[in-house]
Amino acid sequence: MGLVELASIKSVWRGMDYYQKKKVCSWVKTGDGTYDGIVSGSERNRYSVHIDKIHPRKSACNCPFADGRRVICKHMIALYFTVEPEAAENFLKEVEKWEREEEEREQRHFKELREYVNSLSKTELREQLYDALIELENMGSRYWY
């Protein structure tokens, strides 16, 4: 698994934002698949970041979130996308593909739902509607306690 796969989705999106805002101040390739850089953080903080693409858990950052922990932070993702912009492009393409597929799934679901409703008799439709309204009321009453 790579840096993006090991990071939380929140860290990936915030890292993408930092990448797009060019918050990586400087970077240097330090070895085979390793990079060191300085990333500008919030409140004018600057963080020292090391990423290891081959062994992502060896990546490090001195930000409060990642310092001393084996997690992937937004600064690491920003550095990764800066040194490998095609990875950022691929990530965004995958997101767009997933969103298109999700839209298609949703449209299929609504079509199947419409077909189901159209297949019901008037009596069956009334019973289904009544049951759904009771269930909604019961769900709503759970939030009052």
Encode pLDDT of 104-120 as tens digits: 999 999 999 999 999 99
Residue 22: the pLDDT is 97
27 vs 138 pLDDT, higher one:
27
Over pLDDT 70: what percentage of the chain?
Answer: 97
pLDDT band at 42 (very low <50, low <70, confident <90, very high): confident
Q: Taking the domains of the chain in order of start, what are their residue ranges?
A: 3-83, 91-142
Q: Which pLDDT does position 142 carry in this prediction? A: 64
Measured in whole angstroms, the distance separating CA 29 from the mean position of its chain's CA atoms is 27
- pLDDT, one tens digit per residue, over 48-103 is 999 999 999 999 999 999 999 999 999 999 999 999 999 999 999 999 999 999 99
3-state helix, strand and coil shares in percent for the chain, rounded to the nearest 5? 60, 15, 25
The pLDDT confidence band at residue 1, using thresholds 50, 70 and 90, is confident
pLDDT recorded at residue 143: 60
- In terms of pLDDT, which residue wins out, 99 or 141? 99
* Alpha-carbon torsion, ordered 64, 1, 8, 30, to 10 deg: 30
Give the Cα separation of 14 and 81 in Å (integer).
12
Strand order across the beta sheet in which 24-31 lies: 24-31, 34-40, 46-52, 60-61
pTM of the model: 0.75
In whole angstroms, give the CA distance from residue 31 to residue 46.
23
Residues 51 and 56: their CA atoms lie apart, in Å, by: 7
Across the chain, mean pLDDT equals: 94
